[in-house]
């Protein structure tokens, strides 16, 4: 298995230079990014961080520009290129650290709690929307695809937004692999029923992780190769984030010992 996980992204380049380029020209409203941190990990670090993105705070009910459409990459697990986690019993869960079904293996790494709020462009909560989230493991591998974890389905899950548009996941901090800035993928569906049958998506996008927090996490046990891989790229070089992350950069707080929480408020069309 090589570190170059995005070698299959050529088929998605049209997506990157279409909608996202247009959005970057017009700018947009901000994101509300909040963080806190429960739970434990194996790290000895105790420093607490609070990293904010460049976008400002958005008042409830204020209009928002829809989050940029991004590539799902070659490892979505949504049935679009082979494996489909969405139709498997057990995919609807908040804690995505372990595999479900025939395997119960748990992904290693610093705990990361992910809190997202989905809104419509008019600023109202998108109650009942469903979000499918996935990312690589501590080694930069994607379950269901990468050789080392092909028989696993951890670090994938679906949650339904509550009446305020909020949903949460418990995961581990993803590693950095060659050619990409540390990130998390997600797809938004109009309902839980649509998500679990791999129906029509509203949008596909990615969450960027702040450099300061990444460096803290990658200084802990198990993330050695992430230090090397992250040193070889920047946000401005990243093929997805190089045209701006105002709508996608998370704020983090917490520490590597007790865990981090990343929160993002974003809008989708509809």
pLDDT band, very low/low/confident/very high, at 62 (cuts 50, 70, 90): confident
Q: Which residue has the higher pLDDT, 269 or 210?
A: 210
**Bridge partners (DSSP) listed for residue 84:** 78
HEC string for the chain: CCCCCCCCHHHHHHHHCCHHHHHHHHCCCCCCCCCCCCCCCCCCCCCCEEECCCCCCCCCCCCCCECCCCCCCCCCCECCCCCECCCCCCCECCECCECCCCCCCECCCCEEEEEEEEEECCCCECCCCEEEEECCCCCCCCCCCCHHHCCCCCCEEEEECCCCCEEEEEEECCCCCCCCCCEEEEEEECCHHHHHCCCCCCEEEEEECCHHHHHHHCCCCCCHHHHHHHCCCCCCCCCCCCCCCCCCECEEEEECCCEEEEEEEEEECC
pTM: 0.81
Report the pLDDT value the prediction gives residue 65, as an integer from 0 to 100. Answer: 93
Residue 139: give its domain's CATH number: 2.60.130.10
pLDDT band, very low/low/confident/very high, at 44 (cuts 50, 70, 90): very low
Q: Is 265's pLDDT higher than 70?
A: yes
pLDDT in tens, 95-153: 999 999 999 999 999 999 999 999 999 999 999 999 999 999 999 999 999 999 999 99
Q: Is 60's pLDDT higher than 60?
A: no
Report how many domains make up the chain. 1
Structure tokens at 166: 């909020």
Q: Is residue 33 part of a domain?
A: no
Report the pLDDT value the prediction gives residue 231, as an integer from 0 to 100. Answer: 96
Q: Is residue 50 part of a domain?
A: no
Report the pLDDT value the prediction gives residue 64, as an integer from 0 to 100. Answer: 86
* 187: containing domain: 111-268
pLDDT in tens, 72-82: 999 999 999 99
Q: Is residue 205 part of a domain?
A: yes
Report the pLDDT value the prediction gives residue 29, as an integer from 0 to 100. Answer: 35
Report the pLDDT value the prediction gives residue 1, as an integer from 0 to 100. Answer: 41
Q: What is the C-alpha to C-alpha distance for residues 167 and 131, in angstroms, rounded to an integer?
A: 8
Report the pLDDT value the prediction gives residue 61, as an integer from 0 to 100. Answer: 65
Report the pLDDT value the prediction gives residue 51, as an integer from 0 to 100. Answer: 55
Q: Is residue 131 part of a domain?
A: yes
Q: Is 36's pLDDT higher than 70?
A: no
pLDDT in tens, 218-243: 999 999 999 999 999 999 999 999 99
Report the pLDDT value the prediction gives residue 268, as an integer from 0 to 100. Answer: 97
pLDDT in tens, 155-208: 999 999 999 999 999 999 999 999 999 999 999 999 999 999 999 999 999 999
Q: Is residue 4 part of a domain?
A: no
CA separation, residue 189 to residues 40, 114, 122, 200, 216 (Å) = 32, 18, 18, 7, 33
Q: Is residue 12 part of a domain?
A: no
Report the pLDDT value the prediction gives residue 24, as an integer from 0 to 100. Answer: 40
Structure tokens at 232: 């070889």
Sequence-ordered list of residues with C-beta below 8 angstroms from that of 219, at least 6 positions apart, any chain: 45, 227, 256
Q: Is residue 58 part of a domain?
A: no
Q: Is residue 199 part of a domain?
A: yes
Report the pLDDT value the prediction gives residue 38, as an integer from 0 to 100. Answer: 32
Report the pLDDT value the prediction gives residue 63, as an integer from 0 to 100. Answer: 82
């Amino acid at each position: 298995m090589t570190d170059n996980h995005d070698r299959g992204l050529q088929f998605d380049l049209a997506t990157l230079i279409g909608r996202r380029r247009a959005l970057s020209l017009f700018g947009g409203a901000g994101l509300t990014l909040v963080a806190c941190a429960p739970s434990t990990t194996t790290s000895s670090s105790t420093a607490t961080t609070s990293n904010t993105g460049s976008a400002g705070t958005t008042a409830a009910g204020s209009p928002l520009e829809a989050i940029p459409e991004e590539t799902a990459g070659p490892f979505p697990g949504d049935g679009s290129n082979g494996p489909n986690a969405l139709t498997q019993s057990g995919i609807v869960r908040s804690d995505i650290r372990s595999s479900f079904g025939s395997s119960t293996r748990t992904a290693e790494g610093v705990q990361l709690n992910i809190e997202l709020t989905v809104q419509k462009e008019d600023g109202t909560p998108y109650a009942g929307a469903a979000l499918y989230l996935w990312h690589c493991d501590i080694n930069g591998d994607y379950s269901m695809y990468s050789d080392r974890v092909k028989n696993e389905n951890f670090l994938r899950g679906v949650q339904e937004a509550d009446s305020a548009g909020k949903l949460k996941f418990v995961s581990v901090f993803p590693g950095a692999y060659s050619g990409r800035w540390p990130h998390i993928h997600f797809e938004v569906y109009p309902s839980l029923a649509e998500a679990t049958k791999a129906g029509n998506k509203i949008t596909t996008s990615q969450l960027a992780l702040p450099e300061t927090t990444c460096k803290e996490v990658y200084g802990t046990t198990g993330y050695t190769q992430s230090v090397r891989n992250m040193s070889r790229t920047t946000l401005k070089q990243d093929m997805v984030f190089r045209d701006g992350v105002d709508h996608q950069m998370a704020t983090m707080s917490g520490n590597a010992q007790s865990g981090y929480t990343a929160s993002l408020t974003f809008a989708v069309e509809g």
